[in-house]
Structure 1
Amino acid sequence: MPTEPTTYPGYRFPAEVIHHAIWLYHTFILSLRDIELILAERGLLVSYESIRRWCLCFGTELAARLRKRRPRPSDTWHLDEVYLKINGELFYLWRAVDQHGVVLDILVQERRNATAAKRFFKRLLAGLKYKPRKIITDGLRSYGVAQREVLSGVRHRTSRYLNNRAENSHRPTRRRERQMQRDCVA
């Protein structure tokens, strides 16, 4: 396993500070200015703009490294989609969660049809290399079409009440969306 760099050339702060700021941003529902205040409380004067740049530069790399170390997901997956407005346009955020609430994969797409569901299933399986025993979805019929073509041997249940695990997984995204809307209005 490769060791973490102690410093990043061209950056003033050590790698631990950069990783901690990125972790705070992506794990908790905090704004960049909140993270700036948390770091200032610890004696580190970092601009929120620096934290934003760190998240853009190193966020995907750090997330990929964490994803590799996570344990194998359970055999029951909950799938759901929710709409988001991004720059005034409507998009759908597709999310897969295992029975313990661990997010398996997320995909943003413009459509909510069978082709989009198949694309999400294929991406999910390519990233995890495991097949579930059972998937649970809401009543969207696109899941059934995609399940028959991509996950033919997997049991499929549709129930809006059994899918609460996936619905609850959307809550932090919704909270962050509401917070960003408040910041734009003020």
Structure 2
Amino acid sequence: MISFKGVQYPKDAILYAVFFYVRYSVSYRELEEIMQERGVEADHATLNRWVVKYSPLIADEARKKKRKVGTSWRMDETYLKVKGEWVYLYRAIDKHGDTVDFMLSKTRDEAAATTFFENAIGSNLLPEKVVMDKSGANRAGLININLYLLLAGYWWSFIDILQVKYLNNIIEQDHRFIKRLTKPMMGFKAFHSAQATVAGIETAHLIRKGQLDQQVVPAYRQFMALAG
């Protein structure tokens, strides 16, 4: 359960504001007006603090509670701007389009790809295969995972690596939802702020896909329920 101890606003108001920001294409100034119309006086700086503080915590709960994904993954990375510099959003979905995992990284290299696969496998079942583009760094990252499996004695669990671009169209399409929300934000001022916001956006996207198996409940209620 996420703690709201010491906050001066109702828990539901905070969570509603966070959900609205990460689900819809609004600025903090616009969100400030929306909240005022609902009787909540919170300035844009306060709203930003809520998003940065609570989005990652809710995303962690979503990772624990989402349904199991398939063992055939599509992996790719896309780009965001932080302080005028490009950073890299690693993402994976299964062949049905369900979100496997995501990770924002300052670098796009073998080490970053390896870390992404370690995290994704750590919170999901071991995939049988991963489809990716022609990226040498991503391939090297997955080869590292296979080496770890070999050294651990799990040689029969090797992950097949397929570098076929057209098979990866599904994740390139999936990127569009994330980009549609981040583009109007005109870049982020700090990496940790970008990480937090992306975590919230990915969680809202996961709920939108029905990965919590609670489709009968409004999306914002599912988001709030993750906070306990």
Q: Which category describes the TM-score, using the shorter chain as reference length?
A: 0.7 to 0.9
Alpha-carbon distance, 1:137 to partner: 0.7
Considering only aligned residues, what root-mean-square deviation do their CA atoms show, in Å?
2.4
Note if 1:59 corresponds to 2:55: yes
Alpha-carbon distance, 1:71 to partner: 0.9
Q: Please, which of 91, 94, 112 is the counterpart of residue 95 of structure 1?
A: 91
Is there any run of 5+ residues in structure 2 with no aligned partner, and where? 147-156, 188-228
Alpha-carbon distance, 1:99 to partner: 2.4
Question: What is the distance in 2 between the residues matched to 1:61 and 1:138?
Answer: 31
Alpha-carbon distance, 1:132 to partner: 1.2
8 Å contact kept, 2:132–2:163: yes
2:86 is paired with a residue whose SS is strand
Distance 1:43 1:88, change over 3 A: closer
Cα deviations across residues 156-175 of structure 1 (Å, max 9, x unaligned)?
22222211222123223433
TM-score when normalising by structure 2:
0.67
Counting only pairs closer than 5 Å after superposition, residues 57-136 of structure 1 correspond to structure 2 as 57-126=53-122, 128-136=123-131
Is there any run of 5+ residues in structure 1 with no aligned partner, and where? none
Question: What is the distance in 1 between the residues matched to 2:183 and 2:124?
Answer: 35
Percent identity over the alignment? 29
Q: Please, which of 31, 35, 42 is the counterpart of residue 31 of structure 2?
A: 35
TM-score when normalising by structure 1:
0.80
Note if 1:139 corresponds to 2:144: no
Distance 1:73 1:55, change over 3 A: same
Higher RCO (C-alpha under 8 Å, 6+ residues apart): 2
Partner of 2:193: none
